[in-house]
Amino acid sequence: MREHSLQIRTRKRKAVTTDSRHWMKKYGNLIKGLTVERPEQVWVSDITYVQLNRRWGYLSLITDAYSRKIVGWAFRGDLSAQGCIDALQMALRQRQYPGKGLIHHSDRGSQYCSKGYVDILRSNGIAVSMTENGDPYENAIAERVNGILKAEFDLYTSQSGLRETTGKIRENIRVYNNLRPHASCDYLTPEQAHMRSGALRKRWKPKKYPIVKKEFV
């Protein structure tokens, strides 16, 4: 796609969605070094922004780390914890394997540390896990899904209002879950991968960069 100029231009981030400088309790990283072998073993969460015609919109996402399926989402015009709570409640309603242990992983933003959010997790027997060093690689899957929705589904900006953009997001997530294969999931779509268990073959290869030899004078 890059060679034929088919990729959507990457834009610089302009909105801040994470505020980890707060007094609320923060939790340790439970998924560091963990091998994810089944759906609903780990959910990863994040908030990304969409620039609307006269304001910002904020998209809360919950993605299954095994299948890459978006299991919960909400789109609001503010950064309150309610958007994250709405996405979490959607994910809980759609659980397909409720009898198995589940870890919820996110950054240390105030929305995920809020009492309302943590209480819902604990009341459903879900372990709480958070990034520790502010490194985006600690929540890489969530960041990757954000990038796919923006780069492949053109969700950087919207010329419509909040309601119309919500409809666009709903359709894009439906297409993403049902039609877009993932190289990380043996080229299965998220819906297909969500019905599997066990290790999924990784079809991507790490990028190889040319070695630059330095000459010293």
- The residue ranges of every structural domain in the chain are 42-193
DSSP H or E segment with residue 178: helix 162-179
Taken in order 93, 95, 99, 102, the sign of the CA dihedral is negative
User: What are 165's two structure tokens?
Assistant: 């953009």
Average pLDDT (190-215) is 78
pLDDT at 59: 97
Task: Give the span between the Cα atoms of 46 and 149, in whole angstroms.
Answer: 13
pLDDT at 214: 54
Q: Is the pLDDT higher at 13 or at 89?
A: 89
Residue with tokens 């990283």: 29
Closest CA to 172 of 161, 162, 180: 180
pLDDT at 24: 83
For residue 174, pLDDT beyond 80: yes
Rounded mean pLDDT of the chain? 88
**Topology of the domain covering 42-193:** Nucleotidyltransferase; domain 5 (3.30.420)
Longest Cα–Cα distance of the chain, Å, equals 66
pLDDT band, residue 217 (cuts 50/70/90): very low
